A and B are shown apart, each in its own frame.
Chain A
């Protein structure tokens, strides 16, 4: 019901939207001097407020990268915490300039909402966590298992599809919140806990003994998460898109926040020179200053730094790169060249 109303409202908004001139958002952002970025109200590793009240996380770093590209200062971002239901409205109504809130890129969202996905900053997917003591190595061995899930998410649907297509049976135990499902899993009500993989790692920390559970390698759904902008300003879309691409390209070339200053002075590599705005098209195509990409790498870091620091081995979550490794290292993170 809610969804129908929401969709109706959304359609209304899209049809009522006046045709903005190209570059409207970018100009407006430049004029007001900061990026208004919509993030989650709290999602471990992606966007959460730290002890000092600053927002931090992988999604937050995308916002900071855009600010670094536009203003040369990654701190020129104001964050709007949004719930899942209000995120698209906030973007459509112009309350925020960009949305970086673990949002899955789907056909429906890309076409129906008047929005544009700028890229993918995290390839997520639904996975399984099991008690280590079960000795299960693959999701294919889960026939007849009791599975804890959260009510009312697509998780249930994916689970049903996966088990049916593999000819297996399961018993679903539904909980309302993730805290409850963790407690159920811990108390032994179920053998398996299913959720998006990025969530499973966070849920694992909530266990009394995190080492007693393992996340299985199988991923049963595609959840490419990425930053979103409003339709109608291609310039702005490109700034967001290439801010993300610059981070991925920097990782590929081994340029980090630590060595970027030195690289900029000494590098003879034409690819790195183009990345750092020393030759080639520089900032001109994006209508930004020539050091836009340098500022991103210097202040936010390359993709690998952002990943490891927020969700990877440098964080409590300890998520392996997996799908999010570079294409050259067995993953699927790939960015078009800066040329």
Chain B
């Protein structure tokens, strides 16, 4: 050992020496990636300058100079963002016009939903099948009665009073949960060998994909009531929901069809060779593989739906964005539109980002070497 220690090396070539500080770590990385030549260095400096130009005033506006305290517009004196507006209206943005003493019902529904999702998504918790049935069939009914009331001593809260983020989430979740199975059925129908089923599916998909969502909502709210006899009304929210579900199903159908077409023919033939019925073949062999392939597409569609729910503002349903817009028309709070829209953007970003992170985790979990 001692002999090895004494071995002679030329200066700077000892194998146990650390590499020079300029080649590794933060500095090394920067030299490598940001300042490798003069053009790169110039671009880096320009980039830093642009970031400085944008972020310094932004932080100044949003944090340093912002007003947080107080509860009227008189409290906003410093010239920065007036978060007082968002603070005062926060409950309204979250719950709409839901009566304040009943907020716990919305919270309870949300907690219940979060628990169901956890049960479904965390691998360690057993009884997934029970969870699936509960989420799909029991939870919606429970949520409906919990939110709507009118039974078990819960006071009735009409859907016209639902609003804000609550309404956005209801529209998105119901739209997603109901459109997904419908979309799968349509996708299978479109690839069916039975001509009538196939024709109907194609007609349905092409019809609903061919019209903009805004038209669907508009029809549901303005035209549909005219065709019903006077006095027969069904809930505006329900009409909008049905419109969204029917519309969204056609998009899901096409995404799923993409997945079905990507499955090699051998898989179909192998399933047939095993003597599986059509249902078993699809449920056990084809769909698990096909759906796994199109996770990015499905999440993409849901992400879009989540943001598209804001379109309900044209039919007077006050979702998160619409209720912020309505609050901006209160003569006591005129002129704080930037704060309102920034807040809406932040909330939407959080939810959409959460969805895409979940989709990536799901892809990783279900990865079975099919990716190239």
Contact = CB atoms under 8 A, between A and B. Distances in A.
A-B complex is real: yes
Given A51-B89, A86-B316, A89-B226, A45 B158 contact: no
Most buried by A among B92, B316, B318: B316
B164 to A, nearest CB: 10
A271 interface: no
B97 A53 contact: yes
B226 A12 contact: yes
Contacts of B225: 89-90, 92-93, 95
A13 B226 contact: yes
B222 A95 contact: no
Interface in A21-51: 41-45, 48-51
Given A53-B97, A78-B160, A92-B225, 4 more contacts: A10-B226, A41-B313, A93-B228, A206-B335
Contacts of A6: 222
A315 interface: yes
21 contacts: A9-B226, A12-B226, A41-B325, A41-B326, A42-B328, A51-B88, A51-B92, A51-B330, A53-B100, A78-B158, A82-B316, A83-B313, A85-B314, A86-B221, A89-B225, A93-B230, A94-B231, A179-B337, A205-B331, A315-B331, A316-B334
Nearest to B98: A53
B229 interface: yes
Interface residues of B, number: 41
Contact of B230 (A10, A17, A53): A17
Contacts of B331: 44-45, 48, 202, 205, 311, 315-317
Interface in B299-321: 313-316, 318
A49 B231 contact: no
A16 B232 CA distance: 13
Interface of B: 71, 88-89, 91-92, 96-97, 100, 158, 160, 218, 221-223, 225-231, 233, 236, 313-316, 318, 322-323, 325-332, 334-335, 337
A204 B316 CA distance: 26
Given A13-B226, A49-B326, A95-B233, A86 B334 contact: no
A159 to B, nearest CB: 24
B242 to A, nearest CB: 16
B332 A316 contact: yes
B347 to A, nearest CB: 19
B228 A83 contact: no
A283 interface: no
Nearest to A36: B160
A80 interface: yes
Contacts of A12: 226-227
Contact of A50 (B158, B227, B236, B332): B332
A292 interface: no
Contacts of A205: 331, 334-335
A85 B217 CA distance: 12
A18 interface: yes
Contacts of A179: 337
Contacts of B160: 78-81
A107 interface: no
Interface string A308-323: 0001000111000000
Most buried by B among A10, A78, A83: A83
B233 A89 contact: no
A193 B330 CA distance: 21
B97 A86 contact: no
A202 B331 CA distance: 7
Given A93-B233, A202-B331, A85 B226 contact: no
A89 B227 CA distance: 11
Contacts, number: 115
B330 to A, nearest CB: 4
Contact of B226 (A41, A50, A92, A206): A92
A18 B229 contact: yes
Contacts of B221: 86, 89
A229 B226 CA distance: 16
A82 B323 CA distance: 13
Contacts of A51: 71, 88-89, 92, 330, 332
Contacts of B100: 53
B326 A42 contact: yes
A245 B160 CA distance: 30
Nearest to A14: B226
A157 interface: no
Contacts of B322: 41
B95 to A, nearest CB: 8
B330 A42 contact: yes
A49 B334 contact: no
Contacts of A315: 331
B334 A206 contact: yes
A43 B313 CA distance: 14
A81 B92 contact: no
B332 A18 contact: no
A50 B71 CA distance: 13
Contacts of B330: 42, 44, 48-51
Contacts of A317: 331
Interface string A251-266: 0000000000000000
A242 to B, nearest CB: 25
Nearest to B325: A42
B193 to A, nearest CB: 39
Contacts of A93: 225-226, 228, 230, 233
Nearest to A39: B316
Nearest to B218: A85
Contact of B316 (A45, A49, A81, A94): A81
A315 B96 CA distance: 24
A332 B71 CA distance: 39
A39 to B, nearest CB: 10
Contacts of B88: 51
A245 B225 CA distance: 32
